[in-house]
Structure 1
Amino acid sequence: MTAALPEYYFRVRENGAAVFRVDTENRQRRIEMDQIAVLNIRNGEIKPQGDRVLSDADMKVIEEWMAERRALLAARDMDDIHRAVDHMNLTAQWAQSKATPEQLEEITDTLLLAMHDLRSVLVRKKADRLTKAGD
Protein backbone atom coordinates (compact mmCIF):
# COMPACT_ATOMS: atom_id res chain seq x y z
CA MET A 1 0.00 0.00 0.00
CA THR A 2 1.26 3.49 -0.75
CA ALA A 3 2.23 5.80 2.08
CA ALA A 4 -0.19 8.58 1.20
CA LEU A 5 -3.75 7.83 0.21
CA PRO A 6 -5.77 10.26 -1.89
CA GLU A 7 -8.12 12.61 -0.05
CA TYR A 8 -11.09 11.47 -2.18
CA TYR A 9 -12.22 8.12 -3.54
CA PHE A 10 -14.71 7.76 -6.40
CA ARG A 11 -16.67 4.50 -6.53
CA VAL A 12 -17.75 4.28 -10.15
CA ARG A 13 -21.40 3.53 -10.79
CA GLU A 14 -23.23 3.01 -14.06
CA ASN A 15 -24.06 6.70 -14.62
CA GLY A 16 -21.52 8.37 -12.36
CA ALA A 17 -19.96 7.75 -8.99
CA ALA A 18 -20.32 7.84 -5.25
CA VAL A 19 -17.76 10.22 -3.76
CA PHE A 20 -16.02 9.46 -0.47
CA ARG A 21 -13.66 11.51 1.64
CA VAL A 22 -10.81 9.31 2.82
CA ASP A 23 -9.66 9.72 6.43
CA THR A 24 -6.64 8.02 7.93
CA GLU A 25 -6.05 10.57 10.69
CA ASN A 26 -7.94 8.88 13.51
CA ARG A 27 -6.98 7.18 16.75
CA GLN A 28 -7.26 3.64 15.40
CA ARG A 29 -5.20 4.53 12.29
CA ARG A 30 -7.85 2.85 10.17
CA ILE A 31 -8.96 3.97 6.78
CA GLU A 32 -12.39 5.53 7.02
CA MET A 33 -14.39 6.52 3.99
CA ASP A 34 -17.20 9.00 4.50
CA GLN A 35 -19.59 9.30 1.56
CA ILE A 36 -20.01 12.97 0.73
CA ALA A 37 -21.86 12.98 -2.60
CA VAL A 38 -23.34 11.10 -5.52
CA LEU A 39 -22.79 12.37 -9.03
CA ASN A 40 -24.31 11.73 -12.43
CA ILE A 41 -21.91 11.94 -15.37
CA ARG A 42 -24.65 12.20 -17.99
CA ASN A 43 -26.40 15.29 -16.67
CA GLY A 44 -23.62 16.72 -14.49
CA GLU A 45 -25.72 16.59 -11.34
CA ILE A 46 -23.86 16.52 -8.02
CA LYS A 47 -25.96 15.62 -4.98
CA PRO A 48 -24.43 16.09 -1.54
CA GLN A 49 -25.04 13.13 0.75
CA GLY A 50 -27.62 13.77 3.46
CA ASP A 51 -27.58 17.35 4.70
CA ARG A 52 -23.91 17.82 3.92
CA VAL A 53 -22.66 21.01 2.26
CA LEU A 54 -19.80 20.50 -0.18
CA SER A 55 -16.86 22.89 0.08
CA ASP A 56 -15.36 24.70 -2.88
CA ALA A 57 -12.42 22.28 -2.65
CA ASP A 58 -14.82 19.30 -2.76
CA MET A 59 -16.58 20.73 -5.81
CA LYS A 60 -13.30 21.44 -7.59
CA VAL A 61 -12.05 17.86 -7.11
CA ILE A 62 -15.42 16.40 -8.14
CA GLU A 63 -15.67 18.56 -11.27
CA GLU A 64 -12.10 17.68 -12.28
CA TRP A 65 -12.84 13.98 -11.81
CA MET A 66 -16.02 14.29 -13.88
CA ALA A 67 -14.12 15.96 -16.73
CA GLU A 68 -11.42 13.27 -16.65
CA ARG A 69 -14.06 10.52 -16.50
CA ARG A 70 -15.96 11.96 -19.48
CA ALA A 71 -12.72 12.08 -21.49
CA LEU A 72 -11.90 8.49 -20.53
CA LEU A 73 -15.38 7.25 -21.49
CA ALA A 74 -15.19 9.10 -24.83
CA ALA A 75 -11.80 7.51 -25.55
CA ARG A 76 -13.21 4.09 -24.68
CA ASP A 77 -16.16 4.66 -27.02
CA MET A 78 -13.80 5.42 -29.91
CA ASP A 79 -11.66 2.40 -29.04
CA ASP A 80 -14.79 0.23 -29.11
CA ILE A 81 -15.67 1.55 -32.58
CA HIS A 82 -12.17 0.86 -33.90
CA ARG A 83 -12.45 -2.66 -32.47
CA ALA A 84 -15.83 -3.06 -34.19
CA VAL A 85 -14.20 -2.21 -37.52
CA ASP A 86 -11.54 -4.84 -36.82
CA HIS A 87 -14.25 -7.37 -35.98
CA MET A 88 -16.09 -6.55 -39.19
CA ASN A 89 -12.90 -7.20 -41.16
CA LEU A 90 -12.29 -10.45 -39.27
CA THR A 91 -15.89 -11.47 -39.90
CA ALA A 92 -15.49 -10.83 -43.63
CA GLN A 93 -12.35 -12.95 -43.67
CA TRP A 94 -14.10 -15.70 -41.71
CA ALA A 95 -17.11 -15.67 -44.04
CA GLN A 96 -14.85 -15.85 -47.08
CA SER A 97 -12.43 -18.51 -45.89
CA LYS A 98 -13.72 -20.56 -42.96
CA ALA A 99 -17.48 -20.38 -42.56
CA THR A 100 -19.58 -23.41 -43.37
CA PRO A 101 -22.79 -23.01 -45.34
CA GLU A 102 -24.74 -23.76 -42.14
CA GLN A 103 -22.90 -21.06 -40.22
CA LEU A 104 -23.48 -18.54 -42.98
CA GLU A 105 -27.16 -19.45 -43.09
CA GLU A 106 -27.40 -18.83 -39.34
CA ILE A 107 -25.94 -15.31 -39.38
CA THR A 108 -26.32 -13.83 -42.87
CA ASP A 109 -29.71 -12.14 -42.45
CA THR A 110 -28.85 -10.72 -39.04
CA LEU A 111 -25.51 -9.36 -40.25
CA LEU A 112 -27.01 -7.92 -43.42
CA LEU A 113 -29.73 -6.09 -41.46
CA ALA A 114 -27.22 -4.73 -38.94
CA MET A 115 -24.89 -3.57 -41.72
CA HIS A 116 -27.79 -1.99 -43.63
CA ASP A 117 -28.90 -0.14 -40.48
CA LEU A 118 -25.34 1.07 -39.81
CA ARG A 119 -24.87 2.14 -43.42
CA SER A 120 -28.14 4.10 -43.37
CA VAL A 121 -27.14 5.97 -40.22
CA LEU A 122 -23.63 6.71 -41.50
CA VAL A 123 -24.88 7.95 -44.89
CA ARG A 124 -27.49 10.20 -43.25
CA LYS A 125 -24.94 11.63 -40.78
CA LYS A 126 -22.40 12.20 -43.58
CA ALA A 127 -25.04 14.03 -45.66
CA ASP A 128 -25.92 16.20 -42.65
CA ARG A 129 -22.26 17.12 -42.14
CA LEU A 130 -21.80 17.94 -45.83
CA THR A 131 -24.95 20.06 -45.85
CA LYS A 132 -23.81 22.02 -42.78
CA ALA A 133 -20.34 22.47 -44.27
CA GLY A 134 -21.87 23.83 -47.48
CA ASP A 135 -23.95 26.43 -45.65
Structure 2
Amino acid sequence: MTSELPEFYFRVRENGATVFRVDTQNRQRRIDMNQIAVVNIRNGEIKPHGNHSLTDQEEAVIRDWMEERLTVLSTRDMDDIYRAVDYLNLTTQWAQSRASEEQLEDVTDALLLAMHDLRSVLVRKKADRLMKVRK
Protein backbone atom coordinates (compact mmCIF):
# COMPACT_ATOMS: atom_id res chain seq x y z
CA MET A 1 0.00 0.00 0.00
CA THR A 2 1.34 3.44 -0.88
CA SER A 3 1.65 6.11 1.76
CA GLU A 4 0.42 8.85 -0.55
CA LEU A 5 -3.29 9.17 -1.20
CA PRO A 6 -4.66 10.12 -4.61
CA GLU A 7 -5.73 13.70 -5.17
CA PHE A 8 -9.22 12.64 -6.26
CA TYR A 9 -11.60 9.93 -5.13
CA PHE A 10 -14.45 8.64 -7.31
CA ARG A 11 -17.38 7.06 -5.44
CA VAL A 12 -18.96 4.90 -8.11
CA ARG A 13 -22.69 5.23 -8.65
CA GLU A 14 -25.01 3.41 -11.02
CA ASN A 15 -24.59 5.92 -13.85
CA GLY A 16 -21.24 7.44 -12.98
CA ALA A 17 -19.64 8.77 -9.82
CA THR A 18 -19.50 11.39 -7.15
CA VAL A 19 -16.10 13.08 -7.32
CA PHE A 20 -14.19 14.22 -4.23
CA ARG A 21 -10.96 16.11 -3.80
CA VAL A 22 -8.90 14.37 -1.09
CA ASP A 23 -7.28 16.72 1.41
CA THR A 24 -4.78 15.59 4.05
CA GLN A 25 -3.09 18.96 4.49
CA ASN A 26 -4.81 20.04 7.68
CA ARG A 27 -3.81 20.42 11.32
CA GLN A 28 -5.38 17.16 12.47
CA ARG A 29 -3.74 15.22 9.62
CA ARG A 30 -7.04 13.55 8.98
CA ILE A 31 -8.49 12.80 5.59
CA ASP A 32 -11.07 15.28 4.34
CA MET A 33 -12.99 14.53 1.19
CA ASN A 34 -14.69 17.53 -0.37
CA GLN A 35 -17.27 16.80 -3.04
CA ILE A 36 -16.50 18.71 -6.22
CA ALA A 37 -18.72 17.14 -8.88
CA VAL A 38 -21.19 14.49 -9.97
CA VAL A 39 -20.50 12.56 -13.17
CA ASN A 40 -22.94 10.80 -15.49
CA ILE A 41 -21.05 8.48 -17.82
CA ARG A 42 -24.11 7.65 -19.91
CA ASN A 43 -24.51 11.18 -21.22
CA GLY A 44 -20.99 12.50 -20.48
CA GLU A 45 -22.30 15.18 -18.15
CA ILE A 46 -20.13 16.63 -15.38
CA LYS A 47 -21.97 18.77 -12.84
CA PRO A 48 -19.91 20.83 -10.38
CA HIS A 49 -21.09 20.42 -6.80
CA GLY A 50 -22.55 23.45 -5.06
CA ASN A 51 -20.61 26.65 -5.72
CA HIS A 52 -17.47 24.80 -6.82
CA SER A 53 -16.10 25.74 -10.23
CA LEU A 54 -14.09 22.95 -11.80
CA THR A 55 -10.57 23.78 -12.87
CA ASP A 56 -9.24 22.59 -16.20
CA GLN A 57 -7.08 20.05 -14.34
CA GLU A 58 -10.07 18.71 -12.37
CA GLU A 59 -12.14 18.39 -15.51
CA ALA A 60 -9.30 16.61 -17.33
CA VAL A 61 -8.90 14.13 -14.45
CA ILE A 62 -12.64 13.50 -14.44
CA ARG A 63 -12.76 12.97 -18.22
CA ASP A 64 -9.82 10.54 -18.00
CA TRP A 65 -11.63 8.62 -15.25
CA MET A 66 -14.79 8.52 -17.37
CA GLU A 67 -12.88 7.06 -20.30
CA GLU A 68 -11.22 4.43 -18.10
CA ARG A 69 -14.55 3.60 -16.43
CA LEU A 70 -16.28 3.06 -19.79
CA THR A 71 -13.48 0.67 -20.77
CA VAL A 72 -13.85 -1.26 -17.49
CA LEU A 73 -17.64 -1.50 -17.91
CA SER A 74 -17.31 -2.65 -21.52
CA THR A 75 -14.83 -5.34 -20.50
CA ARG A 76 -17.16 -6.49 -17.73
CA ASP A 77 -20.09 -6.67 -20.15
CA MET A 78 -18.21 -8.99 -22.48
CA ASP A 79 -16.98 -11.09 -19.56
CA ASP A 80 -20.59 -11.44 -18.38
CA ILE A 81 -21.67 -12.61 -21.83
CA TYR A 82 -18.92 -15.24 -22.01
CA ARG A 83 -19.98 -16.40 -18.54
CA ALA A 84 -23.57 -16.63 -19.79
CA VAL A 85 -22.42 -18.90 -22.62
CA ASP A 86 -20.63 -21.10 -20.09
CA TYR A 87 -23.69 -21.09 -17.87
CA LEU A 88 -25.93 -22.12 -20.77
CA ASN A 89 -23.63 -25.06 -21.41
CA LEU A 90 -23.66 -26.01 -17.72
CA THR A 91 -27.45 -25.71 -17.70
CA THR A 92 -27.68 -28.02 -20.71
CA GLN A 93 -25.49 -30.57 -18.97
CA TRP A 94 -27.58 -30.28 -15.79
CA ALA A 95 -30.85 -30.74 -17.72
CA GLN A 96 -29.47 -33.76 -19.54
CA SER A 97 -27.78 -35.55 -16.68
CA ARG A 98 -28.93 -34.46 -13.24
CA ALA A 99 -32.24 -32.60 -13.31
CA SER A 100 -35.29 -34.29 -11.86
CA GLU A 101 -38.62 -34.16 -13.68
CA GLU A 102 -39.94 -31.73 -11.06
CA GLN A 103 -36.94 -29.43 -11.49
CA LEU A 104 -37.33 -29.47 -15.26
CA GLU A 105 -41.03 -28.75 -14.91
CA ASP A 106 -40.21 -25.73 -12.76
CA VAL A 107 -37.74 -24.13 -15.19
CA THR A 108 -38.52 -25.38 -18.70
CA ASP A 109 -41.02 -22.69 -19.74
CA ALA A 110 -38.90 -19.83 -18.38
CA LEU A 111 -35.78 -21.19 -20.07
CA LEU A 112 -37.53 -21.82 -23.38
CA LEU A 113 -39.00 -18.30 -23.47
CA ALA A 114 -35.68 -16.67 -22.54
CA MET A 115 -33.80 -18.74 -25.13
CA HIS A 116 -36.42 -18.02 -27.80
CA ASP A 117 -36.18 -14.30 -27.07
CA LEU A 118 -32.38 -14.40 -27.20
CA ARG A 119 -32.38 -16.43 -30.40
CA SER A 120 -34.81 -14.01 -32.07
CA VAL A 121 -32.62 -11.01 -31.21
CA LEU A 122 -29.41 -12.75 -32.28
CA VAL A 123 -30.88 -13.90 -35.61
CA ARG A 124 -32.26 -10.43 -36.36
CA LYS A 125 -28.95 -8.73 -35.48
CA LYS A 126 -26.98 -11.26 -37.56
CA ALA A 127 -29.27 -10.63 -40.54
CA ASP A 128 -28.80 -6.86 -40.12
CA ARG A 129 -25.01 -7.27 -40.12
CA LEU A 130 -25.13 -9.49 -43.22
CA MET A 131 -27.31 -6.96 -45.05
CA LYS A 132 -24.82 -4.17 -44.27
CA VAL A 133 -21.96 -6.26 -45.71
CA ARG A 134 -23.89 -6.85 -48.95
CA LYS A 135 -24.59 -3.13 -49.52
The residue aligned with 1:52 is 52
The residue type equivalent to 1:84 in the other structure is: A
The residue aligned with 2:13 is 13
The alpha-carbon deviation at position 3 of structure 1 amounts to 1.3
Q: What secondary structure, in the 3-state scheme, does the structure 2 residue paired with 1:89 have?
A: helix
Structure 1 ranges of 4+ moved more than 3 A = none
The residue type equivalent to 1:62 in the other structure is: I
The residue aligned with 1:91 is 91
The alpha-carbon deviation at position 26 of structure 1 amounts to 1.1
Deviation readout 1:2-61 (Å, 9 max, x if unpaired):
311000000001111000000111111111110000000111110000121100000110
Q: Aligned partners of 1:25, 1:93: CA distance in 2, in Å?
A: 59
Q: Could you list the runs of 5+ residues in structure 1 that have no partner in the other structure?
A: none
Q: Aligned partners of 1:27, 1:103: CA distance in 2, in Å?
A: 64
The alpha-carbon deviation at position 133 of structure 1 amounts to 1.1
Q: Aligned partners of 1:120, 1:114: CA distance in 2, in Å?
A: 10
The residue type equivalent to 1:60 in the other structure is: A
Q: How many residues are treated as equivalent by the alignment?
A: 135
The residue aligned with 1:100 is 100
The residue aligned with 1:110 is 110
Q: Aligned partners of 2:133, 2:28: CA distance in 1, in Å?
A: 64
Deviation readout 1:105-128 (Å, 9 max, x if unpaired):
111111011000000000000000
Between the aligned residues of both structures, percent identity stands at 71
* In the alignment, structure 1 residue 37 sits paired with structure 2 residue 37: yes
Task: Map 1:16-27 onto structure 2 (within 5 A).
Answer: 16-27=16-27
TM-score, length basis structure 2: 0.98
Q: Aligned partners of 1:92, 1:48: CA distance in 2, in Å?
A: 51
Deviation readout 1:51-77 (Å, 9 max, x if unpaired):
211000001100000000000000000
Q: Could you list the runs of 5+ residues in structure 2 that have no partner in the other structure?
A: none
The residue aligned with 1:66 is 66
The residue type equivalent to 2:77 in the other structure is: D
The residue type equivalent to 1:21 in the other structure is: R
